[in-house]
Amino acid sequence: MTDISLTEKIERAAAEPQNMGEMVAADAMGTVGSTNCGDMLRLWIKFKEEKNGRRVIDRATFQSFGCQTAIAVASVATELIRGKTPEEALSLSGEELSAPLGALPPMKIHCAQLVEEALRSALDPASETISKKSSSCASPASTLSDQLNPQAGKFKINILGSTT
Ligand code: FES
């Protein structure tokens, strides 16, 4: 098997992202915006209880108005956190969440941190990210685009390419 470059891994993951899209009836939701670049990312999480009573992440999905790297990291991270407890998922750094892609260059580290912060926003009640988990996650008006209307005013929304 030949080694593929980081750029190629990111391009592949962003071209066919796993778990992209709003989750209806999620148990937790977190939204963050990067002050570095204006990109935004929302993460939804559904839990399940295992036979031993352990509450773990059953599924996570995301939407992003972000760069290719943020989409690629969110794609691999939503796979990585499956089956983990909230505490285990919260202990993962941006570097660990993006590890399946390889080490990111310094200028792209904040892209992984965006995913880390969205996860923290969803799982950690003490998180200080832009919006915290919300009981309205099942609402049809909870898509990222619905909430990024001009009245929010704080964000520069950067929509990259088509997201099918
Ligand atoms: Fe902003 Fe990647 S450039 S999240």
Over range 103-111, report the average pLDDT. Answer: 94
Integer Cα distance of 122 and 139 in angstroms: 16
Tens-place pLDDT, residues 48-57? 999 999 999 9
Task: Mean pLDDT check: name the lowest of 16-20, 72-76, 86-90, 130-134.
Answer: 130-134
Nearest-CA residue for atom 4 of ligand 1: 111
pLDDT for the residue numbered 147: 60
**Residue-range domain boundaries for the chain:** 6-128
In this structure, the residue with its CA closest to atom 3 of ligand 1 is: 67
At residue 124, the pLDDT reads 85
Catalytic residue among 20, 37, 99, 109: 37
What is the arithmetic mean of pLDDT over 124-143? Answer: 49
**Banded model confidence at residue 145, pLDDT cuts 50, 70, 90:** low
Token digits for 104? 């990111």
Distances 6 to 10, 45, 101 between C-alpha atoms, Å: 6, 27, 6
pLDDT of res. 144 = 64
Instruction: Kindly indicate the confidence band of residue 161, based on its pLDDT and cuts at 50, 70 and 90.
Output: very low
Q: Where are the alpha helices (DSSP H) in the chain?
A: 6-15, 68-80, 86-90, 94-97, 109-123, 144-147
pLDDT digits (tens, 9 = 90+) for 4-23: 899 999 999 999 999 999 99
Whether 157 contacts 65, CB under 8 Å: yes
For residue 131, pLDDT beyond 50:
no
Closest approach atom of ligand 1 to CA 69: 2
For domain 6-128, give the CATH number.
Answer: 3.90.1010.10
pTM here is: 0.79
DSSP codes of every residue in 100-118? GG-PPPGGGHHHHHHHHHH
Q: Do 38 and 48 touch, CB atoms closer than 8 A? A: no
Measured torsion, CA atoms of residues 40, 157, 159, 122, in degrees rounded to the nearest 10: 20
Indicate if 137 belongs to the active site: no
Ligand 1 neighbourhood includes 64 CB (under 6 angstroms): no
157 C-beta closer than 6 A to ligand 1: no
Q: Which atom of ligand 1 is nearest to the CA of 41?
A: 4
